Amino acid sequence: MTMLKNVLAITHCYPKDNKDSSGIWLKRAFERINVLVIGKWDMFSLRRIMELRKGKGLLIACWVIPAGILAYLSGRPYIMYCLGLDCFWAKRHKTIAWLFRPILDRSVKMTFSSRHLMETMNAAYGDRFLSKSQVIHLPVSNKEFYPNEDPVNR
């Protein structure tokens, strides 16, 4: 399997090594589509931030904070993947919703791990983001990203 060209995922919830189990479900999802990941152990290093600013291609930011902030600051196009807490914070706290808004505005697409989360986030913004929202259940399958291809024989 080859890497998806110019696609980089940013997440704070990703195992550092085989002994680390945090975010193992996310690791498996990204391995299935073969995406390069910047994880918690180096997402705030100056070198990584400079690479993001200079890079080209699409980013996948998992959670608005902290990954969405880095994607926003990179100036690159990104998909905002909202997985839970960020949706509930935006709905319950107007100040947080206000802080999230420019990050969500700049995203090219917003994906959610459930319909409930998509509806929760969109309720916080009066359906402002509904047209670019999509539910993608985890674990992610190749079919989600390659709908016209047979993922087994890809």
Q: Where are the domains of the chain?
A: 7-145
Predicted confidence at residue 2, as pLDDT, reads 46
Pairwise pLDDT comparison (150 vs 54), residue with the higher score:
54
Average pLDDT value over all residues in the chain: 77
Angstrom distance (rounded) from CA 89 to CA 133 = 18
Q: Which of 48, 95, 41 is nearest to 71 (CA)?
A: 48
Q: Which residues of 99-128 are buried (b: 16+ CB within 10 A; e: fewer)?
A: ebeebbeebebbbbbbeebbbbbbebbeee
Predicted confidence at residue 122, as pLDDT, reads 92
110 pLDDT more than 70: yes
- Written in H, E and C, the secondary structure of 33-76 is HCCEEECCCCCCCHHHHHHHHHCCCEEEEECHHHHHHHHHHHCC
To which H or E segment does residue 10 belong? strand 7-10
Residues in the chain: 154
The predicted-structure confidence for 46-93, as pLDDT tens digits, reads as follows 566 666 667 777 788 888 888 888 889 888 889 898 988 899 999 999
Predicted confidence at residue 74, as pLDDT, reads 83
Angstrom distance (rounded) from CA 97 to CA 85 = 12
Q: Hey, what CATH topology would domain 7-145 get? A: Rossmann fold (3.40.50)
